[in-house]
Amino acid sequence: MTLAVRAEHLAERMDDPDCSETMLRRTYERFGLVNRAVACWGRVYRELIRPELAALERAGHAARILDIGCGAGDVLHRLIAAARRDGFAVAGVGIDPDARAIGAARPGPGVHFRRAYSRELVDEGATFDLVVSNHLLHHLGADEFDALLADSARLGERLSVHSDIARGRLAYAAFSLGALPVAPGTFLRVDGLTSIRRSYTPAELAERLPAPWRVERPGRFRLLAVHRPVSPRILP
């Protein structure tokens, strides 16, 4: 096993349509704990998302957030809850092509989920103020990666943020040990380690992104692909 190059050939067990439904359900249920521990969305919200929400609020606009590849929706619910605690008017939509993920997602006030690809929303003419994803980039083949960036640039009128893992030996070792308490009965540990092996280094992601996308680092083990439109929606 090596971490020197991306292991693009590996597949995660939970992506297998014939995987254990019980283990899959438990995995979705515990994603929230793992994402809170490792995904740095608190910092991303404070430094990138909240300033955009404040600008929209000053202009009298309620914000709309799209979560692409939302899984069971824990990240979207967390962002919406944080925004509402700060007094912002906000609604969220989560999309995922996997019916099992949408089945595990729980709608709430102003938070909706649907089974869809981002291209379907583009074709519908939909737009959002903010577009996010979590642990999606490393799942994608080359063409899918390019399509996601293109769709995000069209859907996100003010900001797109795709958060993923920064591949490295320390990240692999830390997750291998840190996931043990929550891993029993789930795919979290084995798929998490596979995810790290499939993920990008900062240099690899920077080389992969076209302008004006850029790489940011909210934490030692995290990467962000960030896009701000050249001509964002003008607020009054």
Please give the chain's pLDDT, 236 residues, in tens: 789 999 999 999 999 999 999 999 999 999 999 999 999 999 999 999 999 999 999 999 999 999 999 999 999 999 999 999 999 999 999 999 999 999 999 999 999 999 999 999 999 999 999 999 999 999 999 999 999 999 999 999 999 999 999 999 999 999 999 999 999 999 999 999 999 999 999 999 999 999 999 999 999 999 999 999 976 665 55
The C-alpha angle with vertex 226 and arms to 60 and 189, in degrees rounded to 5, equals 115
CA distance 92 to 129: 10
Assign residue 194 the CATH number of its domain: 3.40.50.150
Would you say 182 and 188 are in contact if contact means Cβ atoms under 8 Å apart?
Answer: yes
In a domain, 188, yes or no: yes
The C-alpha angle with vertex 214 and arms to 3 and 160, in degrees rounded to 5, equals 105
Q: What is the pLDDT, as a whole number, of residue 50? A: 98
In a domain, 8, yes or no: no
In a domain, 19, yes or no: no
Domain span holding position 74: 24-227
Supply the pTM of this predicted model: 0.96
> Cα 4 to the chain's mean position, in Å?
24
CA distance 7 to 189: 17
In a domain, 114, yes or no: yes
In a domain, 232, yes or no: no
Q: Which DSSP category does 204 fall into?
A: H
In a domain, 7, yes or no: no
CA distance 162 to 203: 16
- β-partners of residue 109 are none
Total number of domains constituting the chain: 1
Which two three-digit tokens encode residue 112?
Answer: 């909706």
In a domain, 104, yes or no: yes
In a domain, 236, yes or no: no
